[in-house]
Amino acid sequence: MEPVQKQFSSFAITDEDIERAKNPCIRLDDQEVFDFFQASGKGYQTRINAVLCHYVQQQKALNDRLPK
């Protein structure tokens, strides 16, 4: 499996992402997922957020394409 940095290197973190109000707490029930991101080093919480934001954007785009 390629390193998480390489897998998600196309996820650009913008100043807007950093400035956006964020919930100060993240809960991950899956210890394996948490350990995976934490092992990638400093900034792992930002990478988790980037993956979650990407997922939300993809779901919204999918929903926009579905017939109403």
Number of domains in the chain: 1
Whole-angstrom Cα distance, residue 7 to residue 37? 12
* pLDDT at position 68: 73
Task: At 34, list the tokens.
Answer: 């948490």
pLDDT at 56 over 60: yes
* pLDDT at position 27: 72
- Better-predicted residue by pLDDT, 14 or 53: 53
pLDDT at 2 over 90: no
* pLDDT at position 46: 87
Q: What is the DSSP letter of 29?
A: S
Residues 6+ away with beta carbon under 8 Å from 50: 8, 11, 13, 17
What is the residue range of 21's domain? 4-65
Environment class of 34 (CB within 10 Å of its CB; exposed 0-12, middle 13-18, buried 19+): middle
- Better-predicted residue by pLDDT, 41 or 28: 41
